[in-house]
Amino acid sequence: MAGREPVGIPSARPGLAASAAVALAYGVVLPVLPTVVASSPSPARAIAELMAVYSAAMVVTAPIWVRVCRQLPAHLLVRLSLLGQAAAMIMLLWSSETTMLLLARGLQGIFAGAALPALQTAASRAAGSEGDRSQRLSDLTRVALVGGLFGPGVGGVVAPDDSLVGPVLIGFAVLVLAAAAQRPAPESSTIVVAGRGSPTRHRDVAVLVLLAALAAAAMSVYEVGLATQGRLVDGLSARAIGFMFTGCGVVMLLSQSLVFRPRHDPLRAFAWVAPSFVATAAGLALLAWLGGRWPSALGLILVAAGGGVLQPALVYWTSRAAGAAEATSLGWRASFTSAGQALGSLAGGFAFAATLAGKMVLSTLLLTLLAAAMLALARRRAPAGLPLSVSTQER
């Protein structure tokens, strides 16, 4: 091969800790944001912008991080990402003005965008078989779900007075501890394109990346809808909203654990992608059209169950279709997924409004999700344009 295979992070634990810390730091302030921006002219729009700017910042800086991933050792890049996020979180305490909050969340998103491609590429290159690769990538998603599960719940508990101080300090401490846990690999851990490897299936990568972006957009729409409906319509407290987000994380974790069991077949896991898109569409429809606690709870279960399957399945097949351009493809996948999150957050500010524009946004999203389900169903036998059989034996 023309380039060196990256060894990645020597032990899986520091990488898993980093993935969980990034997710926790993102979610720990979510239950408090509706209260912090309650005095703004349009609270729902402010919440959507605060969620969207995080993802938008990841999109804008993706090309930079893709280049850095090829040169900088994985543990240093992940450490830089974690410490940068920690500094950005402290900025949330400087002022409650929406402009300053947007700046802080944007900086947090910039640094968060560095971690995921490096962690995913290192995990993929360390795998001993296709089944092992799928398992390692799903493990990264699983621990991120754990971080996302505890983040909002912890944030709601430590903010009884709806203040950002407690959640920010928790997020800061977790990020710093995860950064301290990163260690260099015994050999070079530089994330590089593997050179002459299997060919890159550009068309299949593009399809899988777009499906991942749509899944991320739908989840962001639901997060904004849950936060705004719960706080502004149902009158839930920050703690109650936090526990609802935690419940979402629990369901995602359970669904992922059922589908991505040890030594699972990646091809069979992809068969769940189409039903997951349908479940996500049904959950969004329940929250928007029925409202109330029980329909919202059922919608949460459906959206979370779908979300727990979609991203792990799609990231594995993207990695496999990318071939020699794995690091670059995973970097761009992270970028487009972040773009989906950003657009979803902005769309969420409109989708649940009782206006013609809101109904059109929601209807368009639901139809797109159903179209994605049909596309995934059509590709279930060859998700990445590859042969039907997938070797799960150690190489």
> Per-residue confidence at 384, pLDDT binned at 50, 70, 90?
low
Residues 35 and 92: their CA atoms lie apart, in Å, by 14
Q: How many residues does the chain have?
A: 395
Higher pLDDT, 37 or 213: 213
Helical pair 326-351 and 43-69, crossing angle rounded to 10 deg: 180
User: How far is Cα 374 from Cα 268, in angstroms, rounded to an integer?
Assistant: 17
What value does the mean pLDDT of the chain take? 77
Whether residue 387 lies inside any domain: the answer is no
CB atoms within 10 A of CB 388: 7
Class of residue 12 by CB neighbours under 10 A (exposed 0-12, middle 13-18, buried 19+): middle
Residue 393 lies in a domain: no
Is residue 2's pLDDT more than 60? Answer: no
Q: Give the per-residue pLDDT at 116.
A: 80
Q: Is 386 a member of any domain?
A: no
Q: Which domain holds residue 43?
A: 12-378
> In this model, does residue 191 exceed pLDDT 80?
no
What proportion of the chain, given as a percentage, has pLDDT over 90? 12
Mean per-residue pLDDT for 293-312? 83
pLDDT tens for 108-121 read 999 998 888 788 77
Whole-number pLDDT of residue 176? 95
HSE (side-chain half, CA atoms, 13 Å) at 76: 10
Question: Residue 177 above 90 pLDDT?
Answer: yes
Contact call for residues 379 and 267 (beta carbons, < 8 A): no
With beta carbons less than 8 A apart as the criterion, state whether 205 and 318 touch: yes
Q: What is the pTM of this model?
A: 0.70
Give me 155's structure tokens: 């944030």
Domain membership flag for residue 4: no
Number of domains in the chain: 1
Residue 197, H or E segment: none
| Confidence (pLDDT) at 182 | 85
Contact 153, 241 (CB under 8 A): no
H or E element at residue 380: none
Domain harbouring 236, CATH code:
1.20.1250.20
Q: How far is CA 33 from the centre of its chain?
A: 19
- Residue 114 buriedness (CB in 10 A; 0-12 / 13-18 / 19+): buried
**Residues 241-250: tens digit of each pLDDT:** 767 777 777 8
Span 68-87, mean pLDDT? Answer: 87
d(CA 333, CA 215): 12
pLDDT-derived band at 322, boundaries 50, 70, 90: confident
pLDDT digits (tens, 9 = 90+) for 17-68: 999 999 899 888 887 877 777 767 777 677 778 877 887 888 788 778 877 8
pLDDT band of 178, cuts 50, 70, 90: very high
Can you read off the two tokens belonging to residue 170? Answer: 């928790």
**pLDDT at 391 exceeding the cut of 70:** no
Q: What is the pLDDT of residue 382?
A: 63
pLDDT at residue 196, rounded to an integer: 34
- Give the residue among 56, 334, 64, 348 at the shortest CA–CA distance from 212: 334
Residue 303 resides in a domain: yes
